[in-house]
């Protein structure tokens, strides 16, 4: 008798994997030659294995492989006819290029959230606002050069830095670049491809006057903080209303940004400096922007949105395992990072679909926890998240009817 007689639907893991188009995996696998020299452990098997690792937060190769072996019959729906050995997975993590997983993450974002338009003209501020920042994950080997000071033993832990661009509307990364932790943040700026009329908010560590000048020419607005030692000349003092002063605006200045003697290397550009005092935090801020139309309060509020990407980093770090990596080489670390980001993206897709139907929104952490505990349960994930009580009643009734049918046959 077939498995469908005993169980309803597919396990939750299968439902999550179904969000990844199989033809997309095949196309990227062919492009990056990911299946060459592998007789059995194809790139699709590798992807499913590492996603299982991410969802279950496995901390070692042994824990991952034994977990797969214990649930091998449930993984049959995914096309996994056998589970890999530890040595096979370790070799694949070391030798199979991480470029496939990087491309899959970015293509999967485009597939579910759409390709960014050429221009954001006419869009609401929330829809055209992008945030850029980076976060560092420490590793217990120095294979990737870490940042910071050396320890008492004269050694420094390694680390991987995730440079991230996030669109506020989506609340998921739309572009990520992984480097050593010691890499300067500014190297990431030249990789960004932003639509016209979009708004980018960033910390002062990402300031690059040449790139910022190019963005101004491309009608891309940016908001950041004024960096120490910045050279500028005040050309106009804008009026600040009494209401704006009561809300924290101290001054609104038009300036020429850049060093006059170095204008051939770094072109001068017109910008604004907004001095703002946050009464709640009792702290003064100096914001820098090239947008001349927004009010000074809007400039200050835009920069406050930068903290949303910190919530994204906290979300990923708290819901997935980053204390131990399955390999001590750069390629293995990157593969695990990319598969973790793919797992986070899949949960975000599920949350987005459920939130559009359900009045009371789920917290991301709650959905991630439910998925982790019910990864191998045969229950419709979307119906369960929309109406848990009704879905469980239907699930129990269907199991009971299947058992009666089994005894009759």
77: left (phi over 0), alpha (psi -120 to 50) or beta: alpha
| Token pair belonging to 221 | 């607005």
- Say whether 178 sits in a helix, a strand or coil: strand
Average the pLDDT over 292-298 and give the result: 95
Amino acid 262: pLDDT: 77
DSSP state letter for 156: -
Amino acid 1: pLDDT: 36
- Say whether 105 sits in a helix, a strand or coil: helix
Instruction: Name the pLDDT band for 403 (thresholds 50, 70, 90).
Output: low
pLDDT by residue (tens digit) across 174-226? Answer: 999 999 888 888 888 889 999 999 999 999 888 888 899 999 999 999 999 99
Amino acid 330: pLDDT: 92
Between the alpha carbon of residue 90 and those of residues 58, 86, 104, 316, the distances in Å are 14, 6, 21, 24
Amino acid 209: pLDDT: 85
pLDDT by residue (tens digit) across 143-170? Answer: 766 555 554 454 555 789 999 999 999 9
Average the pLDDT over 47-59 and give the result: 95
Strands across the sheet containing 199-202: 172-180, 158-167, 129-139, 199-202, 221-225, 283-289, 269-278, 249-257, 232-238
Average the pLDDT over 75-91 and give the result: 85
More confident residue, 100 or 9: 100
| Token pair belonging to 247 | 């809300």
Q: What is the DSSP string of 309-352?
A: HHHHHHHHHHHS--S--S-SSHHHHHHHHHHHHHHHHHHHHHHH
Which residue is listed with tokens 């009010």?
Answer: 295
Average pLDDT, the chain: 87
| Token pair belonging to 378 | 């045969």
More confident residue, 399 or 245: 245
More confident residue, 286 or 185: 286
| pLDDT score of 344 more than 80 | yes
Closest to 351 (Cα-Cα) out of 373, 376, 371: 371
Residues 6+ apart with CB under 8 A from 102: 176, 178, 334, 338
Amino acid 371: pLDDT: 93
Amino acid 278: pLDDT: 93
**Would the CA dihedral through 41, 44, 47, 50 be positive or negative?**
negative
- Say whether 289 sits in a helix, a strand or coil: strand
Residues linked to residue 278 through DSSP beta bridges, in sequence order: 283
Residues 6+ apart with CB under 8 A from 74: 11, 13, 14, 376
Closest to 55 (Cα-Cα) out of 76, 73, 34, 71: 71
Q: Are 142 and 158 in contact (CB under 8 A)?
A: yes
Q: What is the DSSP string of 44-97?
A: HHHHHHHHHHHHHT--SHHHHHHHHHHTTTTGGGGT--SPPPHHHHHHHHHHS-
Average the pLDDT over 345-374 and give the result: 93
Average the pLDDT over 36-54 and give the result: 93
Torsion on CA atoms 339, 344, 347, 353, rounded to nearest 10: -110
CB atoms within 10 A of CB 263: 12
Length of the chain equals 409
More confident residue, 266 or 279: 279
Amino acid 360: pLDDT: 86
| Token pair belonging to 73 | 């019959």
Average the pLDDT over 240-254 and give the result: 95
Average the pLDDT over 292-299 and give the result: 95
Average the pLDDT over 73-98 and give the result: 87
Average the pLDDT over 344-348 and give the result: 97
Amino acid 317: pLDDT: 94
The Cα angle at residue 264 between residues 260 and 270, in degrees rounded to 5: 55
Amino acid 83: pLDDT: 85
| Token pair belonging to 187 | 């190297």
22: left (phi over 0), alpha (psi -120 to 50) or beta: alpha
Amino acid 392: pLDDT: 67
| pLDDT score of 274 more than 80 | yes
Please compute Rg for the chain using Cα positions: 25
Amino acid 399: pLDDT: 58
| Token pair belonging to 299 | 């400039």
Q: How far apart are CA 137 and CA 178, in angstroms?
A: 11
């Amino acid at each position: 008798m077939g498995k469908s007689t005993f169980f309803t639907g597919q396990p939750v893991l299968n439902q999550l994997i179904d969000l990844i188009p199989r033809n997309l995996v095949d196309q990227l696998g062919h492009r990056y030659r990911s299946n060459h020299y592998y007789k059995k452990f194809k790139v699709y098997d590798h992807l499913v294995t590492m996603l299982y690792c991410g969802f279950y937060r496995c901390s070692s190769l042994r824990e991952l492989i034994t977990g797969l072996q214990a649930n091998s019959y449930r993984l049959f729906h995914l096309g996994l006819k056998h589970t890999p050995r530890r040595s096979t997975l370790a070799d694949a993590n070391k030798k199979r290029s991480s470029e496939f997983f990087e491309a899959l993450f970015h293509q999967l974002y485009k597939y579910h959230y759409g390709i960014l338009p050429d221009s954001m003209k006419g869009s609401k501020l929330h829809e055209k606002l992008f945030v850029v920042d980076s976060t560092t994950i420490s590793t217990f080997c120095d294979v990737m050069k870490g940042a910071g000071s050396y320890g008492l033993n004269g050694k420094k832990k390694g680390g991987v830095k995730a440079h991230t661009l996030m669109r506020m509307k989506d609340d998921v990364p739309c572009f990520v670049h992984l480097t050593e932790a010691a890499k300067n943040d500014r190297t990431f700026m030249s990789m960004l491809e932003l639509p016209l009329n979009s708004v980018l908010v960033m910390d002062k560590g990402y300031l690059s006057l040449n790139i910022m000048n190019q963005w101004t020419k491309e009608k891309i607005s940016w908001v950041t903080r004024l960096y120490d030692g910045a050279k500028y000349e005040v050309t106009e003092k804008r009026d600040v209303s009494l209401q704006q002063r009561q809300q924290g605006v101290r001054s609104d200045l038009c300036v020429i940004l850049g060093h006059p003697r170095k204008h051939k290397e770094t072109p001068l550009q017109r910008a604004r400096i907004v001095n703002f005092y946050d009464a709640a935090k009792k702290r003064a801020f100096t914001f820098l922007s090239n947008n001349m139309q927004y009010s000074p309060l809007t400039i200050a509020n835009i920069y406050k949105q930068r903290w949303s990407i910190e919530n994204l980093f906290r979300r990923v770090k708290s819901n997935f395992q980053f204390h131990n990596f399955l390999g001590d080489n750069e390629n293995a670390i990157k593969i695990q990072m990319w598969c973790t980001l793919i797992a986070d993206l899949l949960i975000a897709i599920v949350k987005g679909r459920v939130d559009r139907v359900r009045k009371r929104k789920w917290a991301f952490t709650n959905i991630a926890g439910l998925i982790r505990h019910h990864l191998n349960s045969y229950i419709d994930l979307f119906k369960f998240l929309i109406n848990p009580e009704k879905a469980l009643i239907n699930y129990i009734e269907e199991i009971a009817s299947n058992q009666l049918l089994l005894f009759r046959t």
